[in-house]
Amino acid sequence: MSGRYAFILAGGVGSRLCLLSERRAKPAVPFGGKYRIIDFTLSNCVNSGIFDVGVLTQYRPTSLNQHIGLGRPWDLDRTRGGIQLLQPSPGNSASDWYQGTADAIYQNIVHLKRRRSQEVLILSGDHVYQMDYNVLYAFHRRNHASLTVAVTEVPEDEVDQFGILETEPNGRVTAFKEKPKGPVTSRLASMGVYLFDRDALIRWLVEDASMANSSHDFGKDILPRLVARGEGVFAYRFPGYWQDVGTLDSYYRANLEFVQPKPPMDLNDPEWVLHTQTADRPPVRVESGARVARSLLANGCSVQGEVTNSVLFPGVVIERGAVVRDSIVMHDTVVGAGSVLDKAIIDKEVRIGRGAKIGDGEDYSPNRACPEHLSNGLVVVGKRARLPEGLTVGRNARIGASVIEQDFTAPVPSGGVVDGPESMH
């Protein structure tokens, strides 16, 4: 297992996560009560015996860099190997920024050339799944593949969101279509997990970099090109749970899947520990008269009210008489007495005034600023927002980061927007 090397692509903008990724990279978005999304990929690496990892960051990397730090929670604070945060270094030209996923690897090709590994693993930092990469390596070598792509079967109505592969019975890929719009004969979607023959990858990256008409992306350019040339591309069918949490709806749905009686993955598996950076917090406190049902509560939470089918991150306070249902509430948020949260995602350090109603009524008008992200009833409240007492917020509303009580002059209607000083809209 020694001598293996993995790149994790963690620099994407993640605009479909709306407020949650406006001030942080998508892999740094909190998930599942105490984790960040990138924890799943990092834990997969170390649980698979891969202790030499390069994380490619670009877009708003501060919180991601702080979370990873020296890599100690993942046993990646090593003298040899360990974890490296690889940031682009623009010179005089904007083209020095990573232009696409393949360009990101190409700009760090020196790290690849320094390794003696026979293969190189390229991963995405924004997916939720548990995979033993040793199985992928074995499949790759057994087929003498130049490239192996991990795939999973997706519902027919979602194929236009993924790169779709067609294969022979032995797994050899015969066709690849990036986000196809018409009818397809396959529902095998690329998981963004690539195992390359190292020398072949270096050769293909150099070739791609010289092509003026390329967008320098694995899904859009390199993968279709290799399949068309018959370069020995194989698809490994992953049988387990995998979720791209790149949209608000998929992020919300995936979080709440973990509060169900049979969650999609066991977060308590001693054989496959999900590592993360954790602060010392006191135990959860549930006061007399409080009610908690089918929910995840992280350390430091204090509940005096009612919590149902929800995920609470560390330090959340639910005051007496407050009701939280079908919601995700992030670190150190306080939900005031008598307030109601219904189908809401609340970012860190928010203060919700007493008697407020967040996610109110039966009007499901899409959000006027981002209808493509907020149309199914979710309310999103940005980091450090302060909501006044008695405020009513309708469905599909968007409340910006760092708003204060004085920013609210009337109830927020369904589909409404209240922009804060940090808003990027």
pLDDT level of residue 371 (50, 70, 90 thresholds)? very high
Query: Distance between the two ends of the chain, CA-based, in angstroms?
Result: 47
pLDDT level of residue 92 (50, 70, 90 thresholds)? very low
User: Tokens standing for 423?
Assistant: 């808003």
Q: What is the pLDDT of residue 1?
A: 41
The Cα diameter of the chain in Å comes to: 68
Q: What is the pLDDT of residue 51?
A: 93
| Cα distance between residue 362 and residue 381, in whole Å | 19
| CA-atom Rg of the chain in angstroms | 22
Q: What is the pLDDT of residue 149?
A: 97
Proportion of the chain above pLDDT 90, given as a percent: 68
Residue 93 has pLDDT above 50, yes or no: no
Looking at per-residue confidence, does 304 or 91 come out higher? Answer: 304
Evaluate whether 410 touches 391 at the Cβ level (below 8 Å). Answer: no
Residues paired with 121 in a beta bridge: 6, 195
pLDDT level of residue 226 (50, 70, 90 thresholds)? very high
**Average pLDDT over all residues of the chain:** 90
Q: Using alpha carbons, select from 303, 306, 311 the residue that is nearest to residue 328.
A: 311
| Residue at 259: amino acid letter | V
Neighbouring C-alpha atoms within 13 Å toward the C-beta of 132: 8
User: Tokens standing for 419?
Assistant: 């922009």
Output DSSP code: residue 366. Answer: P
Neighbours of 369 (CB within 10 A): 17
Question: What domains are defined for the chain?
Answer: 6-257 (3.90.550.10), 285-418 (2.160.10.10)
Instruction: Point out the least confidently predicted range of 57-71, 144-158, 334-348, 393-407.
Output: 57-71
Q: Using alpha carbons, select from 343, 354, 346, 349 the residue that is nearest to residue 391.
A: 354
| Cα distance between residue 344 and residue 311, in whole Å | 11
Residues paired with 82 in a beta bridge: 52
Annotate 228-294 with DSSP letters as a single string. Answer: HTT--EEEEE--S-EEE--SHHHHHHHHHHTTSSS-SS-TT-TTS---------PPPEE-TT-EEES
Residues paired with 148 in a beta bridge: 195, 234
At 271-320, the pLDDT tens digits run 999 999 888 899 999 999 999 999 999 999 999 999 999 999 999 999 99
Q: What is the pLDDT of residue 96?
A: 60
Residue 62 has pLDDT above 90, yes or no: no
Q: What is the pLDDT of residue 423?
A: 58
Q: What is the pLDDT of residue 246?
A: 84
Instruction: Point out the least confidently predicted range of 22-31, 46-55, 69-78, 275-284.
Output: 69-78
At 159-173, the pLDDT tens digits run 988 999 999 999 999
Residue 150 has pLDDT above 70, yes or no: yes
Neighbouring C-alpha atoms within 13 Å toward the C-beta of 123: 29
Q: Is 216 exposed, middle or buried (0-12, 13-18, 19+ CB in 10 A)?
A: buried
Neighbours of 323 (CB within 10 A): 18
Evaluate whether 114 touches 7 at the Cβ level (below 8 Å). Answer: no
Q: Using alpha carbons, select from 296, 356, 349 the residue that is nearest to residue 323.
A: 356
| Cα distance between residue 348 and residue 316, in whole Å | 9
Annotate 162-207 with DSSP letters as a single string. Answer: SEEEEE-TTSBEEEEEES--S--S--EEEEEEEEEEHHHHHHHHHH
Instruction: Point out the least confidently predicted range of 5-14, 244-253, 327-336, 400-409.
Output: 5-14
Residue 222 has pLDDT above 70, yes or no: yes
236: which residues sit within 8 A by CB, 6+ positions away? Answer: 135, 136, 139, 140, 148, 149, 150, 151, 171
Average pLDDT over residues 395-405: 96
| Cα distance between residue 89 and residue 279, in whole Å | 32
Residue 397 has pLDDT above 70, yes or no: yes
Q: What is the pLDDT of residue 97?
A: 67
122: which residues sit within 8 A by CB, 6+ positions away? Answer: 6, 7, 9, 101, 105, 193, 194, 195, 196, 218
Evaluate whether 73 touches 277 at the Cβ level (below 8 Å). Answer: yes
